[in-house]
Structure 1
Amino acid sequence: MPLDRPPPALPPVVLRAVPGSDHVLTPDALAFIADLQGRFGLRLHALMVARARRQERIDRGELPDYLPQTKEIRQGIWRAAEIPAALEDRRVEITGPVDRKMMINALNSGARVFMADFEDATSPSFSNLIAGQKNLIDYRDGTLELDDPDSGKSYRVAADPALLIMRPRGLHLSESNVLIGGQPMSASLFDFGLSLFHCGRALAATGRGPFYYLPKIEAHGEARFWNEVFVYAQEKVGLANGTIKATVLLETLPAAFEMDEIIWELRDHIAGLNCGRWDYIFSYIKTLRNHDAYVLPERAQLVMEDAFLATYAARVVKVCHRRGIHAMGGMSAAIPVKGDDAANEEAFAKVRADKKREVGMGFDGCWVAHPDLVPVAQEVFDAEMSGPNQIRKPRQEWNIKPAMLLKPHQGTITEAGLTTNISVAIEYLANWLQGRGAVPINNQMEDAATAEISRAQLWQWLRHGATVTLESGEERLFSAEWLGELVQAEIVRILERLGPNGFHRGHYASAARIVQEAVTAPVLPDFITVQAYDVLNALD
């Protein structure tokens, strides 16, 4: 639709007031996001319908492949627009929720970049989201600080903080607390629109933004959608076209076949692709859910050096460097164990090996989830990467066939792996319902992707009649009845640990019910967080 003929924007209705609303949901800001929703809402709905139709074709047997109609883009000689100076060196990025203290700690961590994650690391209660937007405004103004009355500690942003990149929620999500035309507005447009309206001009004036991470993209048409949103939004707030720079989280299996096309659609606004490894595993299971040839072993055996994960990582580096943008490596989710030096050194050794693999492949940077991992990862990249990045190193000798992007890992499903998936899914979701999106579990900082992998693997094993190796060495067929027994046993363990009051305050019963229903559903639900969102809103 031409920019000079906007559709009439319906006024938004905000269903609840939370702390910070008066600073964030100003009349002008609400008018801006309503304009975005009015202009792009129907397009977004059509894209989600297209996702569903593609999944139906894959369910019927049409496997993902390179698109014949975009062959010229894949084979063409072209590069994306120049990367701004502030984004040239991204060797270590730290990610985390938009909680005020965690944001300050991440900005002061020594990492080059902090990704403020409004999606997988933030439980999307309305109070959390508005507080996060208020924190971005305070970051803009240099007033992001905290005096903690419980600990007596003061938190202030240091003189040379990490570069902030904001991650809005995915295109599939809605914000049910803001209605436009009687319908929930897009969560993506809500998060992006508010941050750009309040902070875009100030960040652009300093050359430090506005920068974004775009999650859960599945096709180049969705990248085109984001590009058109950027073009329109920049014009509305008075920014030159191309000021916004986005890094696309390459975390879905369909998108792995459309990397060149995604970059092409965003060529004026793209800075890189990122390996979102945990979400990618989840997407692999979800996309190939009907096909028993692609049943995966337990998560601990899904290593990046093998099968579809190795090919995916290689293709990210190859395509990014050919197009002149960053290839960003995956997450190291280890967190320190207090008072256990041996456990810490073992975890850090695994992180070093993972980062050495990434920098050796040609990645230009990596992710960590905890400030203590920043120097560990930086040491590896400093030793192996002499310049600010490795874009100058092409990887065109890698010939990647479609079947290589689908090759499953070989391995086993053990009783321990089965019970771990149940435990992690319930524990994470219970914390998510309490308003926490980044949760330490088993010495790992877990986010929503962990719960998604866990419950999707359980569904896949149940759907395709997987055999589980018991501790005794015997084998047992995974069944819905056995799942019920294991969920019940997990509830008993939680009760013993927390007592009845802690169990109920922690919403563990709701979490267990949501997980069990998702695992036993006839069709694998797309996102368990969508199912849980209504419960979260009721509890908020």
Structure 2
Amino acid sequence: MSSSLGYYGDTAMKKIPGGVGGYDVPNGVDIRGRYDEEFAKILTKDALIFVAELQREFRSHVKYAMECRKEAKMRYNSGGLPGFDPATRHVREGDWVCAEVPPAVADRRVEITGPVERKMIINALNSGAKVFMADFEDALSPTWENLMRGQVNLKDAVNGTISFQDKARNRVYKLNDQTAKLFVRPRGWHLPESHIFIDGEPAIGCLVDFGLYFHHNHAPFRKTQGQGYGPFFYLPKMENSREARIWNNVFERAENMAGIEKGSIRATVLIETLPAVFQMDEILYELRDHSVGLNCGRWDYIFSYVKTFQAHPDRLLPDRVLVGMGQHFMRSYSDLLIRTCHRRGVHAMGGMAAQIPIRDDPAANEAALELVKKDKLREVRAGHDGTWAAHPGLIPPIMEVFNNNMDDKPNLIKTMKREDAANITEEDLLQIPRGVRTMEGLRLNTRVGIQYLAAWLTGTGSVPLYNLMEDAATAEISRVQNWQWLKYGVELDGDGLGVRVSTELFGKVVEEEMARIEREVGSERFKKGMYKEACKIFTRQCTAPVLDDFLTLNAYNHIVVHHPRGPSKL
């Protein structure tokens, strides 16, 4: 690994010709993405100075946080278990609360999520949901086009001028008078932005996402999004309160730069890593002036469970479709999050409903919808103040469930009965999930993982697969579970009774599932797509002797970016 690239590894990228014109960059900043007049309105000199200042001020803190992740992984791989930190017991037991939730976002009972794609932004803001989380992270493939076009789209959305002409349907999409509140999710601390180099190393991806968006939109946001504080963010992939402290310092730096009141920026943290569940109080405490709650990022949480216990053969997961909220460790995680948030005066947000309408099968669609409503009824009765949906078609039925169980209150923060969170123990949060491991589970992991990665490599990060809207979290679960089963040679249940997962068996499954994918998508689309490249990457990661921390970090070097002289790879 090149020392100049630090914790990002080998993410250097070939210099891309700028085409006509060029960006006006400050000293120390090098833009390696193609030139575009629209992008230049985002990549102004002042905006790049702000991003560079953030990187220079916080890069050493981020690098140290990533080293701490490595140290924690070594402890877990040596047999250790995550748990509550005795050194911060005073924080967990202290009688403190976060800053009061702004009235503008008091009601968040249904939130819709999706990538920062232009039509998606309009439809999501018009969907009837209370909040739209615009995503630069798991639902977006981080190509230069996607990232910069996303910034352009959000700037237009905040200004209220965004529109989209669908020529195929002869339809123009515009914003309604009433729209959802806008939250933005930048990438996690671990992801680089190799289209922009600062002082000779790749920019920190989340600081690019946050910095560009905040610089251009903090003033118009506060005018167009209604009364209350803002802008609003979702923060992903954190593992401990140290990482939350960096975000808090970034927010304070940004507020100071903009000359706005401390605490104006508000953020919800996704609790989607196993180590973070033991630091929820500490994370809220670090962000107490800027917090509006925590969210159950349950798909990534399952991925993190496998990754955390990759060296623990006694903690093998069953088929991923069986690892739901009925599992004791998942239910305990949700309950602890609710009790922690309400004790601290902020929202406790529920998990994702990834279903999409099944238009050609009304019976199957109704059955799927009933499962969604059952899951959401469980969430609101448990005390969640709101929940997530991936498709506008789910908003009305989910809204009905929450409306019927919230007594016309905007949230349950002050009215929900608060039980003592101390009765949820480390053992509850670490209980081994129960269920079978089957050949169909291995096949589904392989089929979904390859298809998602093939789409991601060609610039699509939110992918409809088998009536679900999938993002990177599903691909991660699929990958690490295959890796875990292969590493420990698990014996399959059901039709595969007595059969152990081996490299040979996996190779056969990959071959057969690739044939099935080709049949399902059609030979022409299969040939034009990047299915073979995705298969190689996915297979390599599943069979690697050492588990890669993130599929997307490894695959980032394979994204194809386009510029005036043809394609080039990162």
The TM tier, using the shorter chain, reads: over 0.9
State the AA in 2 paired with 1:244: I
Corresponding position of 2:47: 29
TM-score by structure 1 length?
A: 0.96
Instruction: Report the RMSD for the aligned CA atoms in angstroms.
Output: 1.4
Instruction: Verify: 1:262 aligned to 2:283, yes or no.
Output: yes
Corresponding position of 1:6: none
List alignment gaps of at least 5 residues for structure 2.
1-25, 561-567
Contact 2:159 2:221 in 1 (8 A): no
Contact 1:250 1:276 in 2 (8 A): yes
Corresponding position of 1:388: 410
State the AA in 1 paired with 2:538: V
| CA distance in structure 1 between the partners assigned to 2:196 and 2:417 by the alignment | 46
Corresponding position of 1:457: 481
Following TM superposition, the consecutive aligned residue runs of length 4 or more in structure 1 with deviations greater than 4 angstroms are: 497-501, 537-540
Contact 2:99 2:290 in 1 (8 A): yes
Contact 1:37 1:185 in 2 (8 A): yes
1:223-372 matches, within 5 Å, as: 223-372=244-393
User: Of residues 54, 79, 84 in structure 2, which corresponds to 1:61?
Assistant: 79
State the secondary structure of the residue aligned to 2:477.
helix
| CA distance in structure 2 between the partners assigned to 1:463 and 1:270 by the alignment | 40
Instruction: Verify: 1:73 aligned to 2:80, yes or no.
Output: no
Contact 1:462 1:480 in 2 (8 A): yes
State the secondary structure of the residue aligned to 1:164.
strand
Superposed displacement of residue 481, structure 1: 1.2
| CA distance in structure 2 between the partners assigned to 1:168 and 1:207 by the alignment | 24
Superposed displacement of residue 364, structure 1: 0.2
| CA distance in structure 2 between the partners assigned to 1:498 and 1:539 by the alignment | 26
Corresponding position of 2:458: 434
| CA distance in structure 1 between the partners assigned to 2:162 and 2:134 by the alignment | 13
Superposed displacement of residue 141, structure 1: 1.6
Corresponding position of 1:4: none
Superposed displacement of residue 498, structure 1: 4.6
User: Of residues 139, 143, 156 in structure 2, which corresponds to 1:121?
Assistant: 139
| CA distance in structure 1 between the partners assigned to 2:364 and 2:42 by the alignment | 43
Contact 2:491 2:497 in 1 (8 A): no
Superposed displacement of residue 499, structure 1: 5.4
State the secondary structure of the residue aligned to 1:282.
helix
State the AA in 2 paired with 1:75: E
State the secondary structure of the residue aligned to 1:367.
strand
| CA distance in structure 2 between the partners assigned to 1:61 and 1:494 by the alignment | 39
State the AA in 1 paired with 2:65: L
State the AA in 1 paired with 2:491: T
| CA distance in structure 1 between the partners assigned to 2:276 and 2:151 by the alignment | 29
Number of aligned pairs? 531
Corresponding position of 2:241: 220
| CA distance in structure 2 between the partners assigned to 1:113 and 1:192 by the alignment | 18
The farther-off stretch of 201-210 and 29-38 is 201-210
| CA distance in structure 2 between the partners assigned to 1:443 and 1:237 by the alignment | 44
State the secondary structure of the residue aligned to 2:75.
helix
- Tell me: CA distance 1:368–1:58, structure 2 relative to 1, closer, same or farther (3 Å): same
State the AA in 1 paired with 2:465: I
Instruction: Verify: 1:505 aligned to 2:528, yes or no.
Output: yes
Corresponding position of 1:514: 537
1:42-121 matches, within 5 Å, as: 42-121=60-139
1:126-141 matches, within 5 Å, as: 126-141=144-159
Instruction: Verify: 1:486 aligned to 2:509, yes or no.
Output: yes
- Tell me: CA distance 1:539–1:106, structure 2 relative to 1, closer, same or farther (3 Å): farther
Identity rate, percent: 47
Instruction: Verify: 1:12 aligned to 2:29, yes or no.
Output: yes
- Tell me: CA distance 1:214–1:474, structure 2 relative to 1, closer, same or farther (3 Å): same
Superposed displacement of residue 522, structure 1: 1.2
The farther-off stretch of 244-253 and 489-498 is 489-498
| CA distance in structure 2 between the partners assigned to 1:107 and 1:87 by the alignment | 14
The farther-off stretch of 392-401 and 28-37 is 392-401
Corresponding position of 1:5: none
| CA distance in structure 2 between the partners assigned to 1:505 and 1:192 by the alignment | 35
State the secondary structure of the residue aligned to 1:171.
coil
TM-score by structure 2 length?
A: 0.91
State the AA in 1 paired with 2:536: R
Superposed displacement of residue 174, structure 1: 0.3
List alignment gaps of at least 5 residues for structure 1.
1-8
State the AA in 2 paired with 1:474: L
Superposed displacement of residue 151, structure 1: 1.7
Corresponding position of 2:493: 469
